[in-house]
Structure 1
């Protein structure tokens, strides 16, 4: 029986490299995978899943009107697994489409993404993934300032932490840092370990 998996973690927790590894493992066994990523994440180009370690692959971009279920259903060769990166950027209808892939097509779906935004609130995609996923797994990483588990995302503008503003602003390590709760509320100066 196929299941919907949501694997979440803070930034730099190795989510994308894990997705790329899962895709590689399926394909090395001669099995087909379909990889999707929200089009809004264009840091490495639209329709690219890329890890900070330098490995990447093409993916099917998900726009607001994309019907993921219809795309998978329309494939001549049924995939053995569907993988989705940056699941936090999905909308409610996308998560519903993923559940249909699992329930009606019996294809496992593994989604990787962030749990919370820099305001310490759930993303829309995360909210619906948490309510629909069969299995929820945390991918852990450590705070950039100490050795505690990173549970929050700290956003910087001009070297200063910010807690308000646009919820979605695509950026990397120069904009966001994964931190523990203590350092989210009381961040030290920009010098990081």
Structure 2
């Protein structure tokens, strides 16, 4: 039976690298996969790019109002026509940017089409609040797996602190793609202790 997997972690925990490795593992065994990500993630445009320098084109981008089940069906039909084989797995990067309805579609793909879906993303934003897509994945996924990384102090990183021009900020829009904004938005993965120290005790 196919399952919906949510593999999550703080920034720099290797999510995109793990996704690309999973795709490679399927294809090494002669199976076909589809890769997708929300189009709101403008970093890398139509590619999934790991911080280790590995990158790969996605098969499709997911618009904010897209019917994921319909788009998946279109690309599945293309794979069948081109290869004579079915899709073995759907892999989603930056899944936190999906809408709750789109996550519902992922579960329907798993249950109705018997195709596994592996979704990778971060759990919370820079204010420690869950992204809507991540919250829905936590509610629906058959399997939850945390990908771990460490804080500057060596402890396990839980949160994603936002920096603008090198200074920590704790107010602003939920989504600001790193390294693309005019004021150079970046992020740092932090443990709870270091986050609270930088935020002066603030959690939202």
Partner of 1:176: 187
TM (normalized to structure 1)?
0.92
Structure 1 residue 116: Cα displacement: 0.4
Structure 1 residue 94: Cα displacement: 0.8
Partner of 1:11: 11
Partner of 2:202: none
Task: Deviation per CA, 1:135-169: give whole Å up to 9, x if none.
Answer: 011000000x2110000111112332111111100
- Any gaps of 5 or more consecutive residues in structure 2? 81-85, 200-204
Distance 1:19 1:159 in 2: 29
Structure having the larger proportion of residues in helix: 2
TM (normalized to structure 2)?
0.87
Task: Deviation per CA, 1:47-93: give whole Å up to 9, x if none.
Answer: 21110111111111111122221122232323100000001000011
Partner of 1:56: 55
Count of residue correspondences? 186
Task: Deviation per CA, 1:89-147: give whole Å up to 9, x if none.
Answer: 0001110110011000001000000010000100010011011101011000000x211
Q: 2:101 aligns with which of 76, 88, 93?
A: 93
Give the root-mean-square deviation of aligned CA atoms: 1.5
Distance 1:64 1:139 in 2: 26
